[in-house]
Structure 1
Amino acid sequence: MVERTIEIARETIRRVGLDRFRLVDVAKGLGVTHAALYNHFPNKEAILDAISERWLNEMDEAMERVARTVGPARLAILEWFMAYHRQKRNKVMRDPELYRSFNMAVEADKPFVRRHLEKMHDQLLSLLERGADSGELDIALPERAMEVLFEATVSFHHPALVLEHKDEDRELLLQRVVSAVLAGLSASR
């Protein structure tokens, strides 16, 4: 019932918008009473969180596949950032109401959002360590490099900033930022 509830809630939000989304409509779509829905989700916020968490889990898996790609570390890091940016931009363009709900979860600093960020940091760190270990990247402290890269690219992956720039094609700029930061990190050693 949980998976079906999430699906019906997503479709309801897409159809009526986040502001008009009601649990009564989800219960009706499931063919259960409003009270029966509370056995699985205590409130509307819990359903919205489940929707956002599912999307982040899907993104985490997709990003993990990108992080595992074979090839030069610089190219893998660049592709990782491009994929991360595209995931967020595609969501805001194709599913604006669900993206809005996700953005609210980010602003509320939900635990599942923090877990997602930890996974993104771990993936990026792994790529930087791979580059440092192979000698391709001349960085002494991959963890510090990860922090710098993630912060330098925040406007390409922070939900509110992706939303703000959603109508712009910023991929070339992202490539330039990542390349410049990687060059700067190597030069500063």
Structure 2
Amino acid sequence: MARPQTDHEAAAEKLLAAAEELVRERGPVQITITDIANACGMSQSNVYRFFPSKEALWEAFAERWFRELNEIMEEVVASDLEPREKLYQFFARRLIVKKARFEEDPDYFNSCMILGDEHRDVVMSYVDLADHYMAMILAEAIGAGEFKGMKVDRLMTLVNLMLAPFCDPVLMVRYRGATPENLRYVIDAIFEGFGEADAVAPKEMEPLRIAS
């Protein structure tokens, strides 16, 4: 059972909810602390009791967006699923959440993507966390005898390339084939296809010659 919010946490959540509503109404335009304060019926100075800067507020806004996704990753990584199923669930469950958010309100979803670009450093901290969790799953797979001869770093690069359409929110909504069903096929291909032949990064390609 989740612990009850303190008054401070409840007020901060109210401010973040107001910021979300403003983004839904206006799109990714410049939204001020004053706008958010007015929406909550409080003074601008009072907002700074909860968020010391506008950047801190948008960091909390990002945390709110990623909260459910992070909980999914933590739950999957801590589960006793075998590595192949664990990697599938790691991506599939987040894919379902992201698709549901897009379908619920495409304009708001796209606005959040634009805000994410504007606050890229904040977003990248969550991307790095996802990579950390995925590395744990892949290391577990290697420990179980999968991907013989491969190192985690090399495997991470290949998996990220192959699974980008199932994870990157922009690619995910662009490609209709980014479905949980197709994800299953790709995960199986990764586990069945990668091995010692892929363990060493390929040499730099020779320049192409154009026949005339």
Taking structure 1 as the reference length, the TM-score comes to 0.80
CA distance in 2, matches of 1:159, 1:132: 28
CA distance in 1, matches of 2:178, 2:155: 26
Which residue among 150, 153, 162 is the counterpart of 1:140? Answer: 150
Report the CA distance between 1:99 and its aligned residue. 2.3
Task: Tell me the residue number matched to 1:104.
Answer: 114
Task: Tell me the residue number matched to 1:182.
Answer: 191
CA distance in 2, matches of 1:34, 1:108: 23
Query: Gaps (5+ residues) in structure 1?
Result: none
User: Which secondary structure does the structure 2 equivalent of 1:70 belong to?
Assistant: coil
Matched, 1:128 2:155: no
Task: Tell me the residue number matched to 1:10.
Answer: 20
Report the CA distance between 1:65 and its aligned residue. 0.7
Task: Tell me the residue number matched to 1:93.
Answer: 103
Report the CA distance between 1:169 and its aligned residue. 6.1
Report the CA distance between 1:150 and its aligned residue. 1.2
Task: Tell me the residue number matched to 2:128.
Answer: 118
Report the CA distance between 1:49 and its aligned residue. 4.6
Say which one has the larger Rg: 2
User: Which secondary structure does the structure 1 equivalent of 2:160 belong to?
Assistant: helix
Matched, 1:73 2:83: yes
Aligned length: 186
Q: After TM superposition, where is structure 1 displaced by more than 6 Å over at least 4 residues in a row?
A: none
**CA pair 52-80 structure 1, distance change in 2 beyond 3 A:** same
For the aligned residue pairs, the C-alpha RMSD in angstroms reads 2.8
Tell me which amino acid in the other structure corresponds to 1:74. R
Task: Tell me the residue number matched to 1:30.
Answer: 40
Select between 55-64 and 97-106 the one with higher mean Cα deviation: 97-106
- Greater share of residues in helix: 1
Q: Percent identical across equivalent pairs?
A: 20
CA distance in 2, matches of 1:66, 1:93: 24
2:76–2:86 Cα contact (<8 Å) kept: yes
Report the CA distance between 1:107 and its aligned residue. 2.8
